[in-house]
A and B are shown apart, each in its own frame.
Chain A
């Protein structure tokens, strides 16, 4: 059951990721990316990381991608302008070369660590466990993240201010 789910989700994730880069309509790309993110969220769920699963849905698929689509809609590209965004021969060649390289690299590293098993052991991915880790061993990076976000917000406000 779990391994079937794993394969389905992986295929969906990879296929939608390919679509993300290959479609010339940016909205189609964004939608494919959303599907990809949802599929990856599903993979998290099969790893029993429920909190991560839902946060991935909530933050990436639900919020970040909406903003991306929002911007795409505001730009409202013409058909003609979209043409340039599609895949052309050299781009396909280079990107598949990189993809093959990365896959080979990961496969090599995987073979070193004793085979491949899509079904993971059941881990504790509950919110409580995640919170424990974040607020003890990763408390410092966590706080840095909040400062980072604050800085970004201040920056955006500065750029977006009506007048100085």
Chain B
């Protein structure tokens, strides 16, 4: 760490060679990380929810298919419209055969909620007036609780439901 010459420092802002290498390393790290999340997003398809549609929080939950059980829209493809409300989900249970692709729509008639399915990449902020949507393929048999992850009032800690992934043909 020698005191740099004045002329040299004018050119380099007094940046020490170690420091310059560190800056290059830092920028390299940022580029690599950004590449990795791009790969995760586009090659592996791990995406976050984007705008789907808007609803009137005060009326939408009365209309079909909101709050109804999961339904098969084409072979192996399922849809479920979940109402997240203080302090429970409708439906409270989502039963699908293993390896099915499920598209989950969630909205709230009252306050903000969360919707996170344990041990999966499904995690959404639920905002009144907006429909949150994600698709996920359940490739393991088992029970996967979905939990409210946003404070919504006094009963927040009790707010949960469960995805039951069952053997093919073993539904119900």
Same complex origin of A and B: no
By a beta-carbon cutoff of 8 Å, the part of chain A in contact with chain B is: none
Residues of B that sit less than 8 Å from A by CB = none
